[in-house]
Amino acid sequence: MAIDNVFRKLVSHCKEYGFVFQSSELYDGLSAVYDYGQMGVELKNNLKKYWWDSMVLLNENIVGIDSSIFMHPTIWKASGHVDAFNDPLIDNKDSKKRYRADVLIEDQMARYEDRVNKEIEKAAKRFGDAFDEEQYRTTNERVMRYQKQHDDLHKRYADALNANDLNELRQIIVDEEIACPVSGTRNWTEVRQFNLMFQTEMGATSEGAMTVYLRPETAQGIFVNYLNVQKTGRMQIPFGIAQIGKAFRNEIVARQFIFRMREFEQMEMQFFVRPGTELDWFEKWKALRLKWHLSLGFGEDNYRYHDHDKLAHYANAATDIEYNMSFGFKEVEGIHSRTDFDLSQHEKFSGKNIKYYDPELKKSYVPYVVETSIGVDRLILSVLFGAYKEEELENGETRVFLKFPPAIAPVKLAVLPLVRKDGLPEMAREIVDEMKFLFNCQYDDKDSIGKRYRRQDAIGTPYCVTIDHQSLEDKCVTLRDRDSMEQERIPIAELGKIVSEKVSLTSMLKKLNKA
C-alpha cells in the first residue's frame, strides 16, 4: 500500500469510528484544531493514565501537579519565550503558502536519506544473504553520492541554525532548488522570525487589562512551583514533578492531522538533580523513555533517537524519540537536559531565592533539570499508525483492525447476543451490567455476528463474547480474540476474572517495571 494511502485511510478511519473529528466542522473547521470523539477520548485517557502511573506510581520520588494555563506574563519573559520562541518562516510568492524554512530543509535531507535507503533495499534483495551493507555503503558510488549530499546539507543547515543566519537558510532553500509543493515554483520571500505564542487580555477594562499568554509548554508551571512541591512534599533531590495539560502554539505550518496542532496536550516530567549529574540522568531518562514506548508493542524498528543539531538556549543535551509515521520518522517525545537555566531565570526575574538546600552536601544551590516531554496527540498518532492493520480473510474479504495493547483499547469487551430473541439479549444485558464495573463494555445486537465483529475490530476491542442458545443451558459464552480470531468457550462465572487479567493496566505496568 502506498504510504500516503495509509495516512489517508487512517484519517478517515479516525473520523468514521469516532476517534478524531475536525474541530468546528459544522462551520467548515478551524485549521489545526481537532476534537476527540467517543473512542478517541477513551484511547487518550488510557494513554495518559499509563504515562501518569508509570511516572507517579512507579517512582517514589516523582509526584504530579496540575498548574493553570494562564500564568504571570513575566514567566514567559524569564523563560525566553517572549524573545526567542520563534520559528523561521518563508512564503512562496506564487501560491502564497507559508512554510517553516527548517522543515523544508529537513524534508530535503530526508529525501537524500530515502534515496540511500532505497538503493540499499534494492541491493539487499539482489544479493540476498551475501549482502554486506557496510561494504555497500562505503563502495557503491550512487549511495556514496547521496550520502555526501545529505551530510553536506546537514552540516550547512546545522551551521546556519547555530549562527541564527536567516539569509543562509534561504540560500540553502534556493541552492537545493526546493520547490513549493503547491505552486511548484521556487519563488521565495526572505526568511523571517515568527513568535508562536498566543496572546490574550486579562482584566475587565482595556486600560487596566494585562496581556497574558496561553502557555506554549506545561514545563514553566512546574518550574515556578518546584519549591512549593519540594517543601510541602519534603522531597529530596533527585526528584521529579509530572504534569499533563494543554499547550498552545500558533504554528506556521499546521498540517499532518494531529501531528502539528495549535491546541494540543503535553505530558511533561521535570527531574531535579544535583549540578554535574545531569548528563548521567539525561542518559537514564533517554533509555527509560524509549523502553516505555517499546512497551506498547509496535516494534523496535519503528523508533529511533534523533540528537538535536541546534541546542535550545536552555539545554546542554537534547534528543528526540521519533516514530516511523507514514510521512517519515517524526518526533513524538523530547528529552532535554535544561541545565539550571529556567530556575536561575525565575530567581533573577522574581527577585526571590529559589535555591534548594541539600542536607547531604549541607549547601544550597539551583538544581539542574532533565525533562521528558511528550505530546499526547503525537503519541496517539504513533499508536494509531502502529495499531492499524489490514488483513485478508479466508473468504477473500479484508478486515481492518486496530491492534492496540488491550489495556489501552477504548472498549475492552463487546457482548453480543447471537439473535435478538429467546432471552439471549436479556442474558447479554445481565453480563454487561456486571462487567461494566470492571472495564469498558459495549452491548451490540444489530446486524450479523460477522458485521458486529468487524465493527469491534475497527475500534480495536480486544475481546468479544457471543451468547447463544446453549449459553442459556450451560452458562458458558464464546470468547473471541481480536488478533488471532480464535474462540474459546468459557463459563460466565469466570468471564470477569479472565478478561480483567488480559486487559489489566497493572500487568502492563508490572511488565514495564521489570523490563
Query: Which is closer to ligand ATP, CB of 320 or CB of 468?
Result: 320
Instruction: Write b or e for each residue in 317-334: b if 16 or more Cβ atoms lie within 10 A of its Cβ, otherwise e.
Output: bbbbbbbbbbbebbebbb
The answer to whether residue 342 forms part of the interface with ligand ATP (CB under 6 A) is: no
Determine if residue 505 is left, alpha or beta; phi over 0 gives left, psi from -120 to 50 gives alpha, anything else beta.
alpha
Instruction: Say how many C-beta atoms besides its own lie within 10 A of residue 234's C-beta.
Output: 8
When binding is defined by CB under 6 A, the residue of 75, 180, 332, 431 that contacts ligand ATP is 332
Stretch that binds ligand ATP, among 124-132, 220-228, 278-286, 368-376 (CB under 6 A): 368-376
The answer to whether residue 317 forms part of the interface with ligand ATP (CB under 6 A) is: no
Angle between helices 166-175 and 141-162 (to 10 degrees): 160
> Measured between alpha carbons, how far is residue 159 from residues 87, 164, 336, 384 in Å?
16, 8, 21, 36
Give the integer Cα–Cα distance in Å for 412 and 406: 7
Query: Which is closer to ligand ATP, CB of 24 or CB of 232?
Result: 24
Fill in the amino acid letter for 190: E
The answer to whether residue 106 forms part of the interface with ligand ATP (CB under 6 A) is: no
Question: Could you tell me the smallest distance in angstroms from the CB atom of residue 498 to ligand ATP?
Answer: 36
| SS3 at position 504 | coil
The answer to whether residue 337 forms part of the interface with ligand ATP (CB under 6 A) is: no
Residue with cell 557496510: 134
Site size toward ligand ATP, by CB under 6 A: 15
Question: Could you tell me the smallest distance in angstroms from the CB atom of residue 249 to ligand ATP?
Answer: 5
Stretch that binds ligand ATP, among 202-210, 332-340, 431-439, 494-502 (CB under 6 A): 332-340
Question: Could you tell me the smallest distance in angstroms from the CB atom of residue 221 to ligand ATP?
Answer: 14
Query: Which is closer to ligand ATP, CB of 376 or CB of 408?
Result: 376
Query: Which is closer to ligand ATP, CB of 278 or CB of 320?
Result: 320
Fill in the amino acid letter for 75: I
Give the integer Cα–Cα distance in Å for 54 and 45: 14
Query: Which is closer to ligand ATP, CB of 168 or CB of 251?
Result: 251
Question: Could you tell me the smallest distance in angstroms from the CB atom of residue 59 to ligand ATP?
Answer: 20
Long-range contacts of 283-286 (CB under 8 A, 24+ apart): 285/335, 285/370, 285/372, 286/319, 286/335
When binding is defined by CB under 6 A, the residue of 220, 266, 337, 339 that contacts ligand ATP is 266
The answer to whether residue 333 forms part of the interface with ligand ATP (CB under 6 A) is: yes
Which of 269, 310, 334 has its CA nearest to residue 59? Answer: 269
Stretch that binds ligand ATP, among 261-269, 279-287, 402-410, 415-423 (CB under 6 A): 261-269
| Nine cell digits for residue 334 | 523530547
Query: Which is closer to ligand ATP, CB of 119 or CB of 342?
Result: 342
| Position with the least CB separation from ligand ATP | 375
* Contact pattern for ligand ATP over residues 130 through 159, marking x by CB under 6 A: ------------------------------
- Residue 76, classified by CB atoms within 10 Å of its CB into exposed (0-12), middle (13-18) or buried (19+), is buried
Give the integer Cα–Cα distance in Å for 376 and 373: 10
| Nine cell digits for residue 388 | 492499524
Stretch that binds ligand ATP, among 106-114, 233-241, 285-293, 367-375 (CB under 6 A): 367-375
The answer to whether residue 331 forms part of the interface with ligand ATP (CB under 6 A) is: yes
Angle between helices 141-162 and 101-127 (to 10 degrees): 160
* Contact pattern for ligand ATP over residues 372 through 401, marking x by CB under 6 A: -xxx-xx-----------------------
The answer to whether residue 249 forms part of the interface with ligand ATP (CB under 6 A) is: yes
Query: Which is closer to ligand ATP, CB of 380 or CB of 407?
Result: 380
Radius of gyration of the chain, Cα coordinates, nearest whole angstrom: 26
Stretch that binds ligand ATP, among 187-195, 256-264, 341-349, 469-477 (CB under 6 A): 256-264
Query: Which is closer to ligand ATP, CB of 244 or CB of 431?
Result: 244
Give the integer Cα–Cα distance in Å for 62 and 51: 12
Fill in the amino acid letter for 137: R
CB 37 within 8 A of CB 19: yes
Which residues contact ligand ATP by CB under 6 A?
A: 249, 251, 260-261, 264, 266, 331-334, 373-375, 377-378
